[in-house]
Amino acid sequence: MKIIKTIKEFNNYRKNLEGKIGFVPTMGYLHEGHLSLMKKAKKECDIVIVSIFVNPTQFSPNEDLEKYPRDFEGDKDRCRSVKVDAIFYPEEKEMYPEEGMTTVIVEKITKKLCGVSRPTHFQGVTTVVSKLFNIVKPNRAYFGQKDLQQSIVIKRMVKDLNIDVNIVVCPILREDDGLAMSSRNEYLNEKERTVAPIIYESLQLAKNMFDNGEKSVERLKLAILEKINSKISDDMGKIDYVEIFDTENINNVMKVNKGNAIALAVYLGKARLIDNIIL
Amino acid sequence: MKIIKTIKEFNNYRKNLEGKIGFVPTMGYLHEGHLSLMKKAKKECDIVIVSIFVNPTQFSPNEDLEKYPRDFEGDKDRCRSVKVDAIFYPEEKEMYPEEGMTTVIVEKITKKLCGVSRPTHFQGVTTVVSKLFNIVKPNRAYFGQKDLQQSIVIKRMVKDLNIDVNIVVCPILREDDGLAMSSRNEYLNEKERTVAPIIYESLQLAKNMFDNGEKSVERLKLAILEKINSKISDDMGKIDYVEIFDTENINNVMKVNKGNAIALAVYLGKARLIDNIIL
């Protein structure tokens, strides 16, 4: 497995590659969710490339850039365990050698959901993913459904800009108690970790209600809010949003339909956790 | 010479190409300036692809999109004469099948010079050039120095986004009387066409002054303004801007140095003409 730290070195590596290239962009601190993307890529492609880069431009000044967890040695082992071919592991000055003037902006769908509390997050994501796609030149790129809005935004960017990369969105992996896997679960203390599964339980409750005929957006949202608030007290955390929407344009729906998504974000201790379910 | 109208058809053509691909993006109504780009591409590359697309997103509502001159039959002959391999000639709905949400924005350097009177022009350019690069996948792309700011903006975008395309900027071609070749010269009536060469004469005057030791930005600009106003009366047109700047970041200079550029834009009749000179 190659570890490549510079773009120049990557270009030299890339030009000799043949066959289908699968790409998994990550911020590292890899868990089973990331590994599931790599395994899927391995199954569908000849070469699998993983990038590990904690991208500063997708954090706002008050967010957790500095304390975002890092474990490159462990990440290498994890990548090796699923037979990744190369890790692209650039330093910040390699990706942003000077103040960049160029931004790739997706409008509208980035203003909703997480975009409300993280207004510059998605332009950081779309810009760095554009850069990574231009460096890695993959045929397929793998994203987790855990970051549902991100995957919708990336798909939209790829379509609008005619980027020749196939976007593959893979299912959410969960801990045994249902909590969606996330590098940020690391931030939870023992008590917070104990109550965290209520987030997914609330989504399952809503899905059950929907499957049993409930089509009211308000009643489903209310059920989720009540369920979460029954376990997460004001001093432990608070709900950022709960939304029900169509998965192409993230438009709120009047009446819930099959294929709509429910997504939510919850502040819990030092963590901001997101989760979602497709109906 | 192939004429390709859809992206799907282009993809099929592109995947069988080998060797170095040169690309000349144009809005058609081709003149010798465009042909010089194609000839240069032909010399440096194995395959030369020209796009002809009058991109609506780089015109603002009050500009000349509707009356922008078009002559596809003539353009085909001109491309054939310099042995272009393929023309990509998409319709608007092929490039923008729905309302796009994604924009590639270069900040700062797009706010200056032509960006003052055309505030959304360059984001239209950078977005469509991104799309065309993603479709055509060239090794080299050729732009004219006539649109100096455009070439600086494109180079910046390519650098910031790690786009793997070599940008080649080619010299301005001029009519016998010095007027820079432009599809928009078409808009000039006989009288306007007679005075138009004063634009380049004024740049030459300033260059001569510089070569003879004049380093004052103000005195060079004044000489240009006076020269142009001596021929172009208020009822015929007016100067939009005259600026002297460094060619990397388009920063105004305090004192003029070798390598700086003088650029200007002049409204003349129905046309807005631009020209520039590197010192």
Interface with chain A: mutation pick from B13, B94, B98, B101, highest number of A CBs within 10 Å: B101
Which DSSP helix (H) or strand (E) runs through A228?
helix A217-231
pLDDT of res. A99? 84
Q: Which two tokens stand for residue A219?
A: 């009643």
CA of A231: how far to CAs of A236, A237, A238, A269, B136, in Å?
Answer: 9, 10, 11, 13, 55
Tell me whether residues A156 and B102 touch, CB distance under 8 A. Answer: yes
Task: List, for residues B181-235, the tens digit of each pLDDT value.
Answer: 999 999 999 999 999 999 999 999 999 999 999 999 999 999 999 999 999 999 9
Rounded CA-CA distance A101/A73 in Å is 33
CA of B177: how far to CAs of B198, B233, B262, B273, in Å?
Answer: 9, 20, 20, 15
Nearest to A49 by CA among A75, A28, A29, A79: A79
Whether the CB-CB separation of B265 and B241 falls below 8 Å is answered with yes
In this predicted structure, the answer to whether residue B274 has a pLDDT above a threshold of 90 is yes
Q: What pairs with residue B262 in β-bridges?
A: B244, B277
What integer is the mean pLDDT of A148-167?
98
Count of alpha carbons within 13 angstroms of residue B16, beta-carbon side: 4
Of B101, B102, B161, the CB nearest to A102: B161
The average confidence (pLDDT) of chain B is 97
Q: Assess whether B31 carries a catalytic annotation.
A: no
The catalytically annotated residue of B14, B34, B40, B156 is B34
A127 interfaces chain B, CB cutoff of 8 Å: yes
Q: Are strands B166-170 and B140-144 parallel, antiparallel or unpaired?
A: parallel
Interface with chain B: mutation pick from A51, A88, A99, A102, highest number of B CBs within 10 Å: A102
Nearest to B242 by CA among B183, B176, B177, B198: B198
Rounded CA-CA distance B27/B249 in Å is 26
CA of B133: how far to CAs of A255, B24, B85, B100, B199, in Å?
Answer: 41, 10, 17, 17, 33
B135 interfaces chain A, CB cutoff of 8 Å: yes
Rounded CA-CA distance B176/B173 in Å is 10
CA dihedral B29, B32, B33, B36 (to 10 degrees): 120
A8 interfaces chain B, CB cutoff of 8 Å: no
Supply the DSSP symbol for A62: T
The average confidence (pLDDT) of chain A is 97
Q: How confident is the model at residue B139 (pLDDT cuts 50, 70, 90)?
A: very high
Handedness of CA A56, A62, A63, A68 (dihedral sign): positive
Task: List, for residues B142-160, the tens digit of each pLDDT value.
Answer: 999 999 999 999 999 999 9
Backbone angles phi, psi at A73, to 5 degrees: -65, -45
Q: Which domains does chain B have, with CATH numbers?
A: 2-170 (3.40.50.620), 183-278 (3.30.1300.10)
Q: Which two tokens stand for residue A10?
A: 């990557």
A136 interfaces chain B, CB cutoff of 8 Å: no
Task: Detail the DSSP E strand segments found in B101-139.
Answer: 102-106
What integer is the mean pLDDT of A159-183?
98
- The position carrying tokens 């590098």 is A183
CA of B19: how far to CAs of A86, B45, B234, in Å?
Answer: 27, 8, 53
Count of alpha carbons within 13 angstroms of residue B154, beta-carbon side: 26
Of A7, A101, A161, the CB nearest to B107: A101
Q: How confident is the model at residue B239 (pLDDT cuts 50, 70, 90)?
A: very high
Which DSSP helix (H) or strand (E) runs through A262?
strand A261-268
Whether the CB-CB separation of B233 and B267 falls below 8 Å is answered with no
In this predicted structure, the answer to whether residue B99 has a pLDDT above a threshold of 90 is no
pLDDT of res. B80? 98
Please name the residue of chain A whose CA is at the shortest distance from the CA of residue B8: A162
Rounded CA-CA distance A145/A152 in Å is 9
Whether the CB-CB separation of B250 and B109 falls below 8 Å is answered with yes
Q: Which two tokens stand for residue A190?
A: 């023992």
A15 interfaces chain B, CB cutoff of 8 Å: no
Nearest to A199 by CA among A150, A169, A237: A237
Please name the residue of chain B whose CA is at the shortest distance from the CA of residue A158: B102
Task: List, for residues B210-222, the tens digit of each pLDDT value.
Answer: 999 999 999 999 9
Task: List, for residues A250-273, the tens digit of each pLDDT value.
Answer: 999 999 999 999 999 999 999 999
Whether the CB-CB separation of B88 and B50 falls below 8 Å is answered with yes
Chain A residues in contact with B8 (beta carbon < 8 A):
none
A101 interfaces chain B, CB cutoff of 8 Å: yes
Chain B residues in contact with A127 (beta carbon < 8 A):
161
The catalytically annotated residue of A14, A34, A121, A227 is A34
- Terminal CA-to-CA distance of chain A, rounded, Å? 39
ipTM, two decimals:
0.96
Rounded CA-CA distance B31/B173 in Å is 9
CA of B18: how far to CAs of A26, B37, B43, B191, in Å?
Answer: 33, 21, 16, 50
Burial string for B220-247 (b: 16+ CB within 10 Å, else e) reads bbebbeebbeebbeeebbebbebbbbeb
Whether the CB-CB separation of B151 and B186 falls below 8 Å is answered with no
Q: Which two tokens stand for residue A118?
A: 């993280």
